[in-house]
Amino acid sequence: MRADPDLHARLDRAGSHIDVDAHRRLAEIHAVAERRSRTSRNRALAVAAVVGILAVLAAWQLRFSEDRAPVPGATAGPSGLIAYLGAYEGSRDLFVLDASTGESRPLYEGRATVLWGAWSPEGSRLALILELDGSGYEVVVADADGSDPVTIVERDDTGAVGPDLLKLAWSPDGSRIAYAGRTQQRGVANRTIFVVDADGSGRPMVLDGHWEDVSWSPDGRRLVLVGFPDPKDPTFDLYTSDPDGSNLARLTDDASIERTPSWSPDGSQIVFSAESVPGIFVIAADGSDVRRLTDRGGWDLLPVWSPDGAWIAFTSDRGATPEQQTANRSGDDVTGFALYLMRPDGSDVRPLVEEDGALLYPTSWTR
């Protein structure tokens, strides 16, 4: 099999536009290799580190098997309304599920594709991220049933700079919305958190740092962020901050990539998913304790607390076929993710909505 001459020429031409600073890269390679070599020579430190890691792992493992704290509302079934996105071949829709009956219906059938939907804390309004026609995004706030949408973050016609939105989160008093989007700083693309008034007034507040996800504390005084404050140390971890991004506190400091945090209704815990160590975890809001809730059978993501704190909804491919799971891991495809529920201690896992070939994931839960 020989190279396709047309494609070879196009790839060559495109590649020639990528500026490669070989000398700087080579200097860094030697520096990093030397640093790693020094590290490996320090056997005493390495042994100590391994012993330390083993001790932490053992303690962590112990926590999994320890008696678990009483679950609030343990005798009650789930209730309230869960908003979830259903992604199918070529389409995406927002649905609402009655958690007590298990019945679903479309929530928003509008002029654009919904990328995220979340009810305001009191449940009377619905904020949506819409993809208008494949070239722009906007944030709208509608009535709880999706009617009468009002745009609060306009589509950016310039394309390169704009919302480019991932997800959003309401402040507990319903006055503000935080969303993760993309911006440019000194010509370099960056993702960070924007905070806007829920009525669209005023200019967005842009947090310093690289942040890709956000959730508000129930008292509205803190945000939990995923990302890193310093681009020189691009390690994805959980942080908390004041709503303006100040008073940063690091909750995790590890090799795993934390994702999709959701603050518990009582403010004591944050649930999140992780990629490098697949599963759903909870961490105390002060970062003092981490527990793994799910650790087998699939890829578990996007946990969302119920308003009463008694349940956590999440998406998982644990029920997918081995072929689907393989494709999900390789990135070739993403299918077979269904909605599940579990107790906040990881017990009582149960499927909620499953559809062949679909990608279903929760975005919001209201009373």
Partner 1 sequence: MERTTSLDIDTIEPLGDFDAFFHANFERTARAAAFVTRDAGTGQDLAQEAFTRLLERWSEMTSPEHARNWVYRVAMNLARSHLRKHLRVFLYGLHRRDDVDGGSATTSSDDWLEVARALGALSPRQRECVVLVDYTDMDAAGAATVLGLSPATVRVHVMRGRRALREGLGIDPREEQP
List residues binding partner 1 (CB under 8 A). 1-4, 6-8, 10-20, 22, 25-26, 28-30, 32-33, 36-37, 85, 87, 92, 113, 115-116, 129, 131, 134, 159-161, 164, 166-167, 184, 187-189, 257, 259-260, 275-276, 301-302, 315, 328-334, 337, 359, 361
* Secondary structure letter of residue 9 according to DSSP: H
| Cβ-based burial of 68 (10 A; exposed 0-12, middle 13-18, buried ≥19) | middle
Nearer to partner 1, 70 or 159 (CB): 159
Give the span between the Cα atoms of 357 and 236, in whole angstroms: 30
- Residue 157's contacts (CB-CB under 8 Å, 6 or more residues apart) are 136
Nearer to partner 1, 196 or 300 (CB): 300
* Secondary structure letter of residue 336 according to DSSP: -
CB atoms within 10 A of CB 317: 22
Q: Least distance (Å) from partner 1 to the CB of residue 246? A: 27
Q: Least distance (Å) from partner 1 to the CB of residue 6? A: 5
C-alpha closest to that of 250 among 262, 264, 236, 232:
236
Q: Least distance (Å) from partner 1 to the CB of residue 14? A: 4
Q: Least distance (Å) from partner 1 to the CB of residue 22? A: 6
Nearer to partner 1, 259 or 291 (CB): 259
311: helix, coil or strand?
coil
Q: Least distance (Å) from partner 1 to the CB of residue 127? A: 15
Nearer to partner 1, 115 or 320 (CB): 115
Give the span between the Cα atoms of 107 and 322, in whole angstroms: 32
CB atoms within 10 A of CB 153: 24
Nearer to partner 1, 31 or 57 (CB): 31
The pair of three-digit structure tokens given for residue 360, joined into one six-digit string: 């279903």
Nearer to partner 1, 21 or 66 (CB): 21
The pair of three-digit structure tokens given for residue 339, joined into one six-digit string: 């909605």
Q: Least distance (Å) from partner 1 to the CB of residue 201? A: 27
Nearer to partner 1, 61 or 135 (CB): 135
Q: Least distance (Å) from partner 1 to the CB of residue 139? A: 14
Buried b (16+ CB within 10 A) or exposed e, 222-251: bbbbbbbbeeeeeebbbbbbebebeeeeeb
